Amino acid sequence: MRALNKKRVLVTGGAGFLGSHLCERLLEQDCDVLCADNYFTGSRDNVAHLLGNPHFELMRHDVTFPLYVEVDEIYNLACPASPIHYQHDPVQTTKTSVHGAINMLGLAKRLNAKIFQASTSEVYGDPAVHPQPEEYWGNVNTIGPRACYDEGKRCAETLFFDYHRQHRLPIKVIRIFNTYGPRMHPNDGRVVSNFIMQALKGEPITVYGDGSQTRSFCYVDDLIEGFLRFMAAPAGVTGPLNLGNPGEFTMIELAEMVIRLTRSASRIEHRPLPQDDPKQRRPDITKAKALLNWEPRVPLEDGLGRTIAYFRNRFFA
Find the catalytic residue in 149, 163, 180, 219: 149
**pLDDT for res 1:** 46
C-alpha span between 20 and 26 (Å, rounded): 10
C-alpha span between 298 and 306 (Å, rounded): 10
**pLDDT for res 88:** 85
DSSP string, 50-107: GTT-TTEEEEE--TTS------SEEEE--S--SHHHHTTSHHHHHHHHHHHHHHHHHH
Average the pLDDT over 239-265 and give the result. 97
User: What digits encode the pLDDT tens for the residues 217-248?
Assistant: 999 999 999 999 999 999 999 999 999 999 99
149 is catalytic: yes
**What residues make up the domain containing 35?**
8-179+219-245+282-297
- Looking up residue 63, the CATH number of its domain turns out to be 3.40.50.720
User: What digits encode the pLDDT tens for the residues 63-104?
Assistant: 999 999 999 999 999 998 767 888 888 999 999 999 999 999
Q: Is position 62 within any domain? A: yes
User: What digits encode the pLDDT tens for the residues 135-183?
Assistant: 999 999 999 999 999 999 999 999 999 999 999 999 999 999 999 999 9
Q: Is position 267 within any domain? A: no
Q: Is position 207 within any domain? A: no
What residues pair up with 75 in beta bridges, in sequence order?
A: 11, 116
Half-sphere exposure of 163 (CA within 13 A, CB side): 28
Q: Is position 116 within any domain? A: yes
Number of folded domains in the chain?
A: 1
Query: Going by DSSP bridges, is the β-strand pair 248-250/214-216 parallel, antiparallel, or unpaired?
Result: antiparallel
Q: How far apart are the first and last CA of the chain?
A: 42
